[in-house]
A and B are shown apart, each in its own frame.
Chain A
Amino acid sequence: MSTVLPPGPASNLTPEPPSAAAVDHGSSLWGAAFRRLRRNPQAIAGTIIVALFVLVAILAPVLAPYGGDALPGRGEIRPTFIPGIGELAAYPLGLDRFGGDVLSKLIWGARASLIIGLVSTALGLAGGMLIGLVSAAFGGWVDNVLMRFIDILLSIPNLLLAVSIAAVLGQGATAIMIAIGASQVPVFARLLRSSMLQQNNSDYVLAAQTLGLSRRTITMSHVLPNSIGPVVVQGTLSLATAVIDAAALSFLGLGGGRPQTAEWGRMLTYAQNELAIAPQLAFLPGICIAITALGFTLFGEALREALDPRSRRG
């Protein structure tokens, strides 16, 4: 029997016969999903990238030759000359305009990105799930008011929403994290709500009601755990967006702090002026952002497929 699975964020437009892996018997949804993930090259690639990124971020103090905002090569910089990749043995990836070691800054930048990504997505998840849960559980006017509020937030493009929140909070990493987190709230709220509403119609909810379980028990112990799949997938994909958005906000000058702080977006901001003489200053952090975002996206999409094999899109 095929059950109606909640559609993922990019609805399952390609119906496909369930693959052999989809018909796992006697195993949990997550167990089966994990087995499918292990066989998916896309998931493996994503996992490797994400694992490397996390490892570099955690081991930054060990891996980086210099501190995040140290300027060890200040003496080597000339107005028209910035040492590039391989030009000085002490600085394998060269220096930036301020005399910072690019390799060290990229490594410390990974740590900054990971923290911003995790914290902002966690904030977005918490806020969005709370609104979605309340909306789906209470329904009626509560649902109506909350969803209209979400509609309003959705009518402002994400980046603009983040910018306006950052404007109230002032510049700095904390402001950026809250701003990105808040801009992700609408998506999570919508997703959890629709997923829960779909589960509400299932037979097991009816069965639980017949057994006389309280509405609270049904919602919290049955409906919620079964509705969480699409939200987890979106959470993984949001990590990619958060890394990109953090760079964008920092690029727009909302990062605060000192110019030489190790942050990929900020490195790109200052690289603009040196594009003609030192393009690597823009390319290296840009590639780091793109690869990290790619890792989370690959992993998130593979996870979506694994949880809902019918949404496979290749």
Chain B
Amino acid sequence: MLRVIGKRIALIIPTLIGLSLLLFIWVRSLPGGPATALLGERATPEAIAQINEAYGFNRPILEQYFTYMGRILTGDFGISIETGRPVLEEFARRFPATIELSVVALIFAIGIGIPLGYIAAKYYGKAPDHISVVVSLIGITIPVFFLAFILKWVFAVQLGWFPPDGRQDSRIDATHATGFWVLDGFLTGEYDAAWDAFMHLVLPGIALGTIPLAIIVRITRASVLEVSGADYVRTARAKGVLERTVRDRFILRNAMLPVVTTIGLQVGLLISGAVLTETVFAFSGIGRFLSQAIFARDFPVLQGFILFIAVLYAVINLLVDLSYSVIDPRVRVK
């Protein structure tokens, strides 16, 4: 098992090196060059010269790349132009918010998606199936930020059931120990703060979870349909295995492989979605930070973000691969 993990990690490294190279080229092709990218567009020539000297932008290009790699490997992603603080620190402060939001979105997507996909496959060609197809089509074609608007307008502005924006009511004086505000509420016993933070997660969570939901429904449906027709399922039924056991151990477990892969692939989608969703709901996670960075042309943040997401993406794909061996023992043998 350890060897498998080691091998998979070794496979990620060339991709990450390639990515760092690409980002290195990217920063140097930004309008105004790397110094302007670091200082912002209103930088004075003196400041630019100073930065060029300090960061070695006037040195040979190969040397620059290695200095750059050295800085990144030690966690130095540069200073945000807008906030004047290290990019890594800014991420660390906002990341828990986005994780909270993504978890809610994924719970929503998986919790509804897998049962809905299963029901659709079970009633193939009947009403529930048609409904699921329509739901997933709408989910795929509706832009995330538009869905966020609709949810906000209906449930926050018109009905007032949920707060329209932010992470927590500003009147609540909550202790924030971990950065996960719902968790903080439970840890400190401030249950009203936890509840309030959770209520702030519902609408953005649904908005963010809808595309993954649509995709999970389709894949589950297709996968269950395929597995249900397999010989071993027929055999199991023929020898009188309980219908519940057939469903749980024969169909669902085998149908889950493509679904797990799909869920893993949703991470990229969740991050792009978070940029839009968090912007609409003024939810201060890394997504909104990025959208502000785009508006402000805060390139150090943008660069750090891309590298960060790519690493995250690689790690999650690794976890997905490893989870196969848990779901499907055949993978372990191979």
A297 and B153: CB pair below 8 A? no
B149 and A268: CB pair below 8 A? yes
Q: Does A31 reach chain B (CB closer than 8 Å)?
A: no
| Residue interface bits A138-178, CB-to-B below 8 A is 1, else 0 | 00000000001101100111111001100110100000000
B29 and A168: CB pair below 8 A? yes
The distance in angstroms between the C-alpha atoms of A157 and B270, with both chains bound, is 9
The distance in angstroms between the C-alpha atoms of A242 and B170, with both chains bound, is 38
Q: Which of B48-56, B134-142, B186-194, B236-244 contacts A (4 or more CB under 8 A)?
A: B134-142
- Residues of chain B within 8 A of A248, CB atoms compared: 143-145, 276
- Residues of chain B within 8 A of A52, CB atoms compared: none
B146 and A268: CB pair below 8 A? yes
The distance in angstroms between the C-alpha atoms of A248 and B295, with both chains bound, is 13
| Of listed A158, A289, A314, residue having the most chain B CB within 10 A | A314
Q: Which of A65-73, A121-129, A196-204, A278-286 contacts B (4 or more CB under 8 A)?
A: A278-286
Partner of A247, one of B30, B130, B143: B143
B314 and A155: CB pair below 8 A? yes
The distance in angstroms between the C-alpha atoms of A110 and B269, with both chains bound, is 26
The distance in angstroms between the C-alpha atoms of A272 and B153, with both chains bound, is 10
Main secondary structure of the interface of A (DSSP, over half): helix
B222 and A159: CB pair below 8 A? no
Task: Closest A residue to B29 by CB, please name it.
Answer: A168
A252 and B294: CB pair below 8 A? yes
Q: Does B248 reach chain A (CB closer than 8 Å)?
A: no
The distance in angstroms between the C-alpha atoms of A167 and B146, with both chains bound, is 24
Q: Does A313 reach chain B (CB closer than 8 Å)?
A: yes
- Residues of chain B within 8 A of A313, CB atoms compared: 218, 221-222
Q: Which of B2-10, B100-108, B196-204, B304-312 contacts A (4 or more CB under 8 A)?
A: B304-312
A254-B294 in contact given A155-B19, A275-B157 (Cβ < 8 Å) = yes
A155 and B310: CB pair below 8 A? yes
- Residues of chain A within 8 A of B142, CB atoms compared: 286, 290, 293
Q: Does B31 reach chain A (CB closer than 8 Å)?
A: yes
Q: Which of B71-79, B223-231, B322-330 contacts A (4 or more CB under 8 A)?
A: B223-231
Q: Does A294 reach chain B (CB closer than 8 Å)?
A: yes
Task: Closest B residue to A155 by CB, please name it.
Answer: B310
- Residues of chain B within 8 A of A252, CB atoms compared: 275-276, 279, 291, 294-295
> Nearest 3 pairs between A and B by C-beta?
A286-B146, A159-B272, A157-B268
A-B contact pairs, 23 of them (CB 8 A): A10-B219, A13-B225, A14-B222, A152-B19, A155-B313, A155-B314, A156-B306, A156-B310, A157-B268, A160-B306, A164-B302, A164-B306, A248-B144, A248-B276, A252-B295, A268-B145, A268-B146, A275-B149, A276-B157, A279-B157, A286-B150, A289-B143, A289-B146
Give B residues with C-beta under 8 Å from A: 14-15, 18-19, 22, 26, 29-31, 124-125, 129-130, 133, 137-138, 140-146, 149-150, 152-153, 157, 218-219, 221-223, 225-226, 229, 258, 268-269, 271-272, 275-276, 279-280, 291, 294-295, 297, 299, 302, 305-306, 309-310, 313-314
